[in-house]
Homo-oligomer: A and B are copies of this chain.
Amino acid sequence: MLEADFKYIIDTLFALFAMVLIIFMVPGFAMLEAGLVRTKNVTSVLTVNVMIYAVASMAFLLLGFDLAFGSWESANLSIWAFFLFQMAFVGKTINIMSGGVSERVRIIPLSMYAVIMGAVIYPLVVNISWGADLLAGTLLDLEMYDLAGSTVIHSTGGWALLAAILIIGSRKGRYVNGAIRVIPASNIPLVVLGALLLWIGWFGFNGGSVGSISSVESANTVAKTIMNTNTAGLAGAIIAGILMHLRYKLFDITMILNGALGGLVAVTAAPDLYGTYEPIIIGAVGGALVVFAVPFFDRLQLDDPVGALSVHLVNGIWGTLAVGIFTDHSLLAQMKGIAVVGVFAFMTSYIVIFVINRFSRFRAEDDEQVQGMDVSECGVEAYPEFKRAI
């Protein structure tokens, strides 16, 4: 057998393996968000998650993939496996955004946004960072190192979320006379299940982003990437646990899990480049950032029921900067990448959400929010047989 054939087969199998792991993030996000919102909005949040996967993936199939990768030819693995792996990413940026506007966002305008994100915005971000490289040769040409998307996926989703929150506003009753009303998560097992599925999906996300496992060197890189990814998640969870206990003498599992996710986001830019110990530092800083960012955004009255700004935007930026700090890559190039992608993602998302919002309002009416989105949007209660205590 030709060595090239061997590599083609192994790398196709590996891309499919990685892609399947990433697809576990679909139930991952769905369960995490369903657990974090109130029971009256659970069906709506779940429906949003399923619709995003459906429409954004379809948009990427019909248009986005070509826009991102141009007339991409695959000599190294099956083009279909490469497509599947890339498609698995698309919904994630939108999940980040949709999670943060839960409990007041309507499904139709959100689905429209998902189509545009999957067909145009996200593909253009990929184009200038990983793909056909539209900006090549221009002043804005990016030389940012971002293996698996601290910026390309996570800050992009985070900036989109910030734009969405600015337009859609906070949930009714969340901030009243400057006071912040705490709204507890309704189903902690789902939160844990969802976060752990995301964690597992991350192995495919980051490991698969190495792109090949078919040489001894790349096999080592893939394994190291997955190890470092996991290590940063461990560190993020531990530091968040310690900080919560120092401050409140309590272990808040939602914060511990968000700390883990923050660590995972932060390491994502270069898990292939770090040694064994950098991911501990990067993940720990990531977990700590989440603990401090969550109340910070709340003070700014940027209402984000799932902590997505803290996990994805803050740590997407931190993780991309960390590459410039802990490796030989230029910190300036990393900052330029953060800025260019950030400005683009924020502005395009803001414009698209603003325009859609003119003819299909994103925000549910106050009485719909009080009643719960499940009634007005879905007609299906999540737990119709369980008597409500609150």
Q: Which A residues are closer than 8 A to B by beta carbons?
A: 1, 3, 5-6, 8-10, 12-17, 19-21, 23-24, 26-27, 30-31, 34-35, 38-39, 42-43, 46-47, 49-51, 53-55, 57-58, 61, 77-81, 83-84, 87, 107-108, 184-190, 192-193, 196-197, 199-200, 203, 207, 213-216, 219-220, 222-224, 226-227, 230-231, 233-235, 237-238, 241, 245, 248, 250-254, 256-257, 260, 276, 280, 377-390
Residue of B187, B378, B389 near A253 (CB, 8 A) is B378
Contact A189 B187 (CB under 8 A): yes
Contact B384 A387 (CB under 8 A): no
Assuming the A-B contacts A385-B38, A385-B389, are A57 and B234 also in contact, with contact meaning beta carbons closer than 8 angstroms in the complex?
yes
Contact A8 B378 (CB under 8 A): no
Residue of B80, B251, B387 near A388 (CB, 8 A) is B387
- Going nearest first, the 9 A-B pairs with the smallest beta carbon separation are A80-B223, A250-B379, A81-B223, A78-B223, A387-B389, A54-B237, A12-B219, A27-B196, A387-B387
Contact A51 B237 (CB under 8 A): yes
Please classify the interface of chain A as helix (H, G, I), strand (E, B), loop, or mixed, using the class held by over half of its residues.
helix
The smallest C-beta distance from A185 to any residue of chain B, in angstroms, reads: 7
- Within 8 Å CB of A200, what residues of B? 20, 23-24
Contact B385 A78 (CB under 8 A): no
The smallest C-beta distance from A381 to any residue of chain B, in angstroms, reads: 7
Assuming the A-B contacts A9-B219, A80-B223, are A50 and B257 also in contact, with contact meaning beta carbons closer than 8 angstroms in the complex?
yes
Contact B8 A54 (CB under 8 A): no
- Within 8 Å CB of A3, what residues of B? 1
Contact B192 A46 (CB under 8 A): yes
Q: Assuming A9-B215, A57-B234, A78-B224, what are 4 further A-B pairs, CB within 8 angstroms? A: A10-B10, A12-B213, A55-B234, A186-B384
Contact A8 B380 (CB under 8 A): no
Residue of B19, B50, B276 near A237 (CB, 8 A) is B50
